[in-house]
Structure 1
């Protein structure tokens, strides 16, 4: 009988400017980093390093669903983890900063 662990996918931010990259971290529920997990967006796949981290850049605006998967290892299998990131254009980011500044005054 095997063991199944759920992957936890965390993004350093949930909103990024188009063209910028985001660091993702993949861990198991016991907070251990997961090396060699594949993090997938619509356009790209990257693997996590020994700390469970990787970077993805978003080249078009919109809401992006990101998934982390890992192949079974012996009797250990993994359930995918997901996260969402919103990529916004630079003008939209500038307008957002202006609105925040206006509320702060």
Structure 2
């Protein structure tokens, strides 16, 4: 009877709903949240090409995070090709976020 119980448990464990569905994504880190907010400003056209972003220190204070966290958010946007970062200067928007319906509708007619 002992082996029967183990087999039943194994069968039930294999049918457990948690194993049938992928785990929910881990919570986003603060740097991703900060990057997402700037990305949204770029997508909606509130930040345009050539606009300067606040300094990393200002971003850190505004979001109550460490300067390193704010720097990581800017690095993420730089890696995505949305901003240009040069040491000693403010980050500058260089491109609109890809495939934004809002940004596509905001293109001026020529």
TM above 0.5, one fold? Answer: no
TM-score (norm 1): 0.31
- Whose helix proportion is higher, 1 or 2? 2
Higher relative contact order (CA 8 A, sep 6+): 1
TM (norm. structure 2) is: 0.30
Q: Tell me which protein shows more strand as a share of its residues.
A: 1
Larger of the two Rg values belongs to structure = 2
